[in-house]
Amino acid sequence: MRSLDARIQAALAAYDEDTRWELIGGIMDECPDDVFEASKGLVRGKHERERTLGADILGRLVESDPEAGLDVELALLPALQKERAPHAIASMVAALGHVGDPSALTQIMPLARHPDAGVRLSVAFAVTSISPRPLSDEVKLSLIRLSGDVDPEVRDWATFGLGTLLTEESPEVMAALLARASDPYHEARAEALFGLAVRRDPRAVPHLIRALGSAHVQGLEVDAAAEAADPRLLPALWALQGTGLADEGRVRRAIDRCSGRDERALLT
């Protein structure tokens, strides 16, 4: 048995995800042409694990070799059209997200309502990765819906799309971001606060004060404070200094922005 076949068989037999991805990394060390042909064959396989692995390898392949994107897309789109197994669908959609061709959205977007959370997560990733800017109304509405998903990671990706990739300040977008400002999932909450702060929405300030006072404060929330540039955030930022909970450079930048020092420096 050749080395590539042995690695593929080991990956198919692995049920621990970390081990499986390590084995996929080993597969990528083989000749790219051999890996592509083997993966394309897996995508057409009889078993869901084969098709899932094939799609995962193709997604990793196009990450390392963007020029393989067209071939990967031509292998995946027909497979996705007839695929019914959720794990395989999720991997195919994620791989297409790495390809980055907006034309694939016509097959990806309908899956935003799929009953499997893993599929919806892949859709949220793919949509935010490959949608042309500005985002279309269809993409915007899908992200708003996905930002309220029951799965926290889906909410996180969708909120990132609304808050960072979209500059719109429509009532629907602002309401979706505000709804996530108190999300129990930290990452989704941080993305929402950043999106609100960039838009200078004053309703973000009370949420940011609580976030800055938390022992679990994240860099994105400090960056959100800098974007908000609101003096009401200064006491929380001063208290954060020297605690080691956040990068001191980011904290100082936020303090400068909230105190107006950055703007004064630009005027002098």
The yes-or-no verdict on residue 189 having pLDDT over 50 is yes
If phi > 0 it is left, if psi is from -120 to 50 it is alpha, else beta; for residue 241 that is beta
SS3 sequence of the chain: CCHHHHHHHHHHHCCCHHHHHHHHHHHHCCCHHHHHHHHHHHHCCCCHHHHHHHHHHHHHHHHHCHHHHHHHHHHHHHHHHHCCCHHHHHHHHHHHHHHCCHHHHHHHHHHHHCCCHHHHHHHHHHHHHHCCCCCCHHHHHHHHHHCCCCCHHHHHHHHHHHHHHCCCCCHHHHHHHHHHCCCCCHHHHHHHHHHHHHCCCCCHHHHHHHHHCCCCCCHHHHHHHHHHCCHHHHHHHHHHCCCCCCCHHHHHHHHHHHHCHHHHHHHC
Task: Specify the pLDDT at position 185.
Answer: 97
The yes-or-no verdict on residue 265 having pLDDT over 50 is no
The yes-or-no verdict on residue 31 having pLDDT over 80 is no
The yes-or-no verdict on residue 266 having pLDDT over 70 is no
The yes-or-no verdict on residue 209 having pLDDT over 90 is yes
Neighbours of 92 (CB within 10 A): 32
Residue from 49, 48, 69, 44 nearest 59 by CA: 69
Band of pLDDT at residue 263, cut at 50, 70 and 90: low
User: What is the average pLDDT across 176-180?
Assistant: 98
Task: Specify the pLDDT at position 134.
Answer: 85
Band of pLDDT at residue 267, cut at 50, 70 and 90: very low
> For the whole model, what pTM was predicted?
0.91
Task: Specify the pLDDT at position 166.
Answer: 86
Tell me the pLDDT tens digit for each residue of 146-176: 999 999 999 999 999 999 988 889 999 999 9
Q: Select the more confidently predicted residue: 31 or 35.
A: 35
Tell me the pLDDT tens digit for each residue of 100-159: 999 999 999 999 999 999 999 999 999 999 999 888 899 999 999 999 999 999 999 999
